[in-house]
């Protein structure tokens, strides 16, 4: 158990400089993926029926997703890579659209890691090794710390169990249908995002990023759904990076929605830890 606890914490922190360098050299991400998609706030008259329908569906998905906020949940985290296959306990606090906090625990309730990410900055405390890392909330830093190379919005979607679809004004929109699901396609540059949306309740079963050759770069799958009003949240979230043979899973056992107060503080013993600042 101690070995599992220690290994999981080290995996999450990715302390080794070599590991961070490898992430920096990962060619699966393009400039389009490294840019947070800005929201389309311009008021234009759209006449294309497909684009109108995609925009309508996106608006409905986001409206229902927004009904769930201020989330406190707890459960199990699993990380599997070619080098490791481990699990641990996790507690999560989420406030849309800007705050994500989590704590990973090992045996006897001992903290392994505590972190707070907002849209601009993060603080990550490796309790086992007394190391605090701070820096900008970039895809590189997210990937180095959590082994999930994704955007901050992807993290919020995954850790909240709800999906908010970002639609930029430069996105090329398309849509198909598969059974009881709309399949929305939003293409920007060389990257295409696809979302599988339930036709009746407008929640997202799955979404994925694809390269210009159609290769799956990363996918997010949501299951074990529960309802809250007209909204839906998933108690199980799975993330895959097929090329890297990496798998990440969150299984929520306890979920409390729309809480009045959430704590995002990362406590650590000032003066007794090593501080690292990343760009």
CB 52 within 8 A of CB 219: no
Has residue 54 been placed in a domain?
Answer: no
Residue 41 lies in a domain: no
**50 domain-assigned:** no
What is the predicted pLDDT for the residue at 4?
44
Count CB neighbours of 13 within 10 A.
23
Count of structural domains, the chain: 1
In a domain, 273, yes or no: yes
Q: What is the CATH number of the domain that holds 192?
A: 2.50.20.10
* 3 state DSSP class of 65: helix
Instruction: Establish if 58 belongs to a structural domain.
Output: no
Burial code (b: 16+ CB inside 10 Å, e: under 16) for 190-218 equals: ebbbbbbbeeeebbbbbbbbbbeeeeebb
Structure tokens at 88: 């641990």
Question: Could you tell me if residue 48 is inside a domain?
Answer: no
pLDDT of residue 270: 83
Mean pLDDT per 10-residue section of the chain, whose length is 279 residues: 45 39 44 46 68 97 97 95 88 96 74 91 91 95 85 96 94 97 97 98 98 97 96 97 95 96 91 89
Quick one: pLDDT at residue 35?
43
138 is a domain residue: yes
pLDDT at 146: 80
Element (H, E) at 178: strand 172-178
- Supply the range of the domain harboring residue 231: 2-26+64-277
Q: What does the pLDDT read at residue 128?
A: 81
Distance separating alpha carbons of residues 186 and 166, to the nearest angstrom: 9
Does residue 49 sit within a domain?
A: no
């Amino acid at each position: 158990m101690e070995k599992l606890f220690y290994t999981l914490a080290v995996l999450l922190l990715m302390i080794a400089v070599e590991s961070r360098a490898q992430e920096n050299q990962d060619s699966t991400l393009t400039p389009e993926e490294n840019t947070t998609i800005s929201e389309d706030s311009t008021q234009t008259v759209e006449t294309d029926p497909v684009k109108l329908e995609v925009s309508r569906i996106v608006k409905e998905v986001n409206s229902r997703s927004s009904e769930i906020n201020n989330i406190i949940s707890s459960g199990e985290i699993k990380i599997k890579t070619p080098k490791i296959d481990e699990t641990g306990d996790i507690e999560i606090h989420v406030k849309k659209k800007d705050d994500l906090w989590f704590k990973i625990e090992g045996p006897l309730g001992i903290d392994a890691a505590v972190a707070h990410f907002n849209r601009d900055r993060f603080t990550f405390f490796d309790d086992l090794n007394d190391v605090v890392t701070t820096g900008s909330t970039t895809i590189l830093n997210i990937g180095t710390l959590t082994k999930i190379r994704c955007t901050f919005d992807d993290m919020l979607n995954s850790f909240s169990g709800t999906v908010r679809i970002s639609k930029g004004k430069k996105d090329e929109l398309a849509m198909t249908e598969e059974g009881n699901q709309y399949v929305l396609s939003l293409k920007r540059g060389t990257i295409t995002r696809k979302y599988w949306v339930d036709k009746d309740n407008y929640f997202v079963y799955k979404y994925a990023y694809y390269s210009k050759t159609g290769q799956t770069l990363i996918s997010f799958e949501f299951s074990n759904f529960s309802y809250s009003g007209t909204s839906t949240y998933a108690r199980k979230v799975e993330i895959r990076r097929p090329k890297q043979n990496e798998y990440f899973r969150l299984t929520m056992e306890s979920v409390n929605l729309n809480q009045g107060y959430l704590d995002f503080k990362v406590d650590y013993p000032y003066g007794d830890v090593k501080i690292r600042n990343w760009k």
